[in-house]
Amino acid sequence: MTSIPDFMFRHTAAIEPLIGEGAYGPVYGPEVTEPCLADDKRQLVRDANGLEIVSDTTVYFKPGVVCPPGSRVTVNGRSTTAITSLIRDGGGLPTPDHVEVALK
């Protein structure tokens, strides 16, 4: 398994994973700080329900990072919500394995 080289992770993201819904809205788990590569670009992505949402930032993490859709993520001083979280695994092929998260 190959992954994105460590020197590429120039940013830091604080992830508060969504663990459910409570009487007063979303319930988040404890904050975890992870190194990442943040790419500020605007693009249309589909959420889990198939709705098209504009994403302003895509964040790339090391394999194994957990950031479910709906999690609160703070990167580059901006707090936002994860739209999608994709595990990019080449299955043993020499591809850069990583976790890709699209943010609102």
The tokens for 87 are 């595990």
What domain range includes position 7?
2-103
Lowest mean pLDDT across 40-44, 60-64, 85-89, 90-94: 90-94
Q: What are the residues whose beta carbons fall under 8 Å from the beta carbon of 49, sequence distance 6 or more?
A: none
C-alpha dihedral, 20 to 45 to 48 to 75, nearest 10°: -20
- Quote the number of domains for the chain: 1
- The pLDDT tens digits of the residues spanning 10-27 come to 999 999 999 999 899 899
Q: CATH number of the domain at 84, please.
A: 2.40.10
Question: Taking the model in full, what pTM does it have?
Answer: 0.87
Model pLDDT for residues 26-36, shown as the tens digit of each residue: 999 999 999 99
